[in-house]
Homo-oligomer: A and B are copies of this chain.
Amino acid sequence: MLIKDVSIIEAGRLQSGRDILIEEGRITSVGSDLGRNSNEEEIIDGRGKLAIPGLINGHTHLAMTLLRGYADDMELMPWLQEKIWPLEAKITEEDVFWGVKLGCLELIRFGITCYNDMYYFPDTAACATREMGLRAFLSGVVFDMKPELLGQVEPFIRRWKGDELIVPTVGPHAAYTCSEETLLKVKEIADRHDAMIHIHLSETREEVDGFLLSKGKSPVEYLDSLGLVNERLAAVHCVWLSPEDCHLLAQRKANVISCTESNLKLTSGIAPLNTMMQAGINVCLGTDGASSNNNLSLFEEMKTTAIAQKNAYHTPANFSAEQIWHMATENAARAFRLGLGLRPGALADLALIDLKKPWFWPQSNIISHLVYSMAGGVDTTIVAGKVLMQNGVIPGEEEILEKAQERFLRLTS
């Protein structure tokens, strides 16, 4: 496949007239006039478009896209007890299948080529994701109230290890919902398979206070004492970290996935990203599930993160567009150990954005526009060299919308 005459970002600036050659799922060349000697049959016209590396959504519960708008504007406990948990008790594999597909539609439309997920029925999520053509890091959720879940982790990993698109991971829900024994077990499995651990960590003040009172340790210190804090950890939220927690996470090379919009909507607080970055933590971005965000756009998440953090620290010059863009791209690629980028040898995971939208004009500072003014325009999304959306069209989209609606009506009936 050859993408001809596209714009890319070089040293922070828009460069037009570039060609991108893709062979066997990887970018093999980026330059000018690559088409001259090419016999490529599949040619994508890149004129007026910007190519960016595919984005990674660092934290989702994709099947919960089915619950979007079902319960908003509630206190956390009534929300969980009266709305989310009763519905989740009824969720079937078929619900997960169509919920994940609905979520994938949205990811594709936002230029997201890979997502990191934790939910029930991960095999079903994996099948649905493969059919949609996206890349995903998937974990079944593990917590002690459903003890049968723990036993399903290793078989799931064995089934999907080595898959081209699906990377199985381990998903203990949180330190407060898993016993020490469970956490040691998931660590053992993760170590054995060199798998990532995906966990909600220090999301609320109550969680942290609870650990300090009962164990004399913060949740981060507690997890570290069990050996779970390392470069394969994706620690989600981390709203209530002490400076010591930050230094510990940095020292262990753990990754933090910040979810500003979900944290604001659920009133969990604003994560201390300034302290994290100063400590040297690899900070990435995620949207959380659509029942607490309520969409899966990383562009929106970038802007909200930048402006909420600027205001929280009274530092307008900090959390610059470049820093935030770096979090969403390079940091995420590092956390998930994915060779992403518009360069030879990288995975052919990318998106083309229509630069003719007015929010990209004047064409002054493309990174600023992507972070602060982007309001749509992803035109083409490609994963592993396969086109999932072109000219804004995703084959089969309408059937997925209808099936998702059917599943939602069944769930809530």
* Interface residues of A, Cβ cutoff 8 Å to B: 66, 68-70, 72-76, 79, 102, 105-106, 109-110, 261, 263-270, 290, 293-295, 297, 300, 303-304, 306-308, 310-311, 313-321, 356-359, 361-366, 368-369, 372-376, 397-398, 400-401, 404-405, 407-409, 412
Contact = CB atoms under 8 A, between A and B. Distances in A.
B316 A375 contact: no
Nearest to A104: B358
A66 B404 CA distance: 42
A323 B274 CA distance: 33
A297 B303 CA distance: 13
A178 B130 CA distance: 63
Contact of A69 (B73, B74, B102, B372): B372
A310 B265 contact: yes
B316 A362 contact: no
A95 to B, nearest CB: 11
A135 B320 CA distance: 35
Nearest to A310: B267
A353 to B, nearest CB: 12
Given A68-B362, A69-B365, A294-B368, 11 more contacts: A69-B364, A73-B316, A102-B361, A106-B358, A110-B375, A264-B307, A264-B310, A290-B373, A295-B372, A297-B375, A300-B375
B405 A362 contact: yes
A404 B317 contact: no
Contact of A316 (B76, B269, B397): B76
B362 A72 contact: no
Contacts of A404: 361-362
Q: How many copies does the complex hold?
A: 2
A369 B67 CA distance: 12
Contacts of A106: 358-359
A264 B69 contact: no
Contacts of A295: 359, 372-375
A86 to B, nearest CB: 15
A315 B102 contact: no
Contact of A365 (B72, B297, B311, B400): B72
A376 to B, nearest CB: 4
A405 B363 contact: yes
A382 to B, nearest CB: 19
B72 A372 contact: yes
Contacts of A79: 316
Contacts of A304: 304, 307
Contact of A362 (B69, B264, B362): B69
A31 to B, nearest CB: 26
A366 B72 CA distance: 12
A369 B68 contact: yes
A50 to B, nearest CB: 14
24 contacts: A68-B364, A68-B373, A69-B366, A69-B373, A70-B364, A72-B365, A74-B317, A102-B361, A106-B359, A109-B357, A110-B375, A265-B310, A269-B311, A290-B373, A293-B373, A294-B368, A295-B375, A297-B375, A304-B307, A356-B398, A358-B397, A358-B401, A362-B409, A375-B375
Contact of A74 (B313, B316, B358): B316
